[in-house]
Chain A
């Protein structure tokens, strides 16, 4: 799970992530472009299930979890 914060101010991102307990690896907003994740054109609250090549497999959270739980 990769968390992408769309908060422009790091302190806001930190406060929100701490409040909701998001302890996953995080990409902060200023690094979104460099991380190659801006191309997913997602809004806050949305998810993208992507493969290792970055191809979007799903935009639905439940479907994403169902897909990865079937992998092994």
Chain B
């Protein structure tokens, strides 16, 4: 097994074993801990949103968290969680669109990859679509 495959496998294992589930967060002074799932971090990592155990979404300053938690937010694992949440959000948004729902049906969209048209899936749910009709004739 090469290193890249090993890392990918390890990353998948991390995701499936709990990164998307609750983790223990610790306050900056180390005096308090709580359980919650990472849901969002703002662009400059000033605030973080955590889904608390009871189902409440709480947004607060990352400065209130321990160094370990801040390191986690900067790390690859958090980025993977956020990317997966974004994918899931886009998929759900596309299903709620009349046009997006049809375009995400299996085999509808393709994209040039090398010498062929390969299957393609939208990763965002645009508000508008420009549809261009073409023909070689």
Interface size class of B (residues with CB under 8 A): 20 to 34
Interface string of B97-137 (1 = CB under 8 A from A): 11110110101111110011100101001111111111111
**Is A5 touching B134 in the complex (CB atoms < 8 A)?**
yes
| Listed residue (B105, B108, B127) with the most chain A CB atoms within 10 angstroms of its CB | B108
User: Which applies to chain A's interface (DSSP): helix, strand, loop or mixed?
Assistant: mixed
Give the docked Cα–Cα distance between A36 and B104 (Å).
Answer: 12
Interface size class of A (residues with CB under 8 A): 35 or more
Interface residues of A (CB under 8 A from B): 1-7, 10, 12-18, 22-28, 31, 34-37, 40, 42-54, 57, 64-65, 67-68, 71
Q: Given A10-B117, A35-B108, A53-B98, 7 more contacts at CB 8 Å?
A: A3-B134, A7-B134, A27-B108, A44-B137, A49-B129, A50-B128, A71-B128
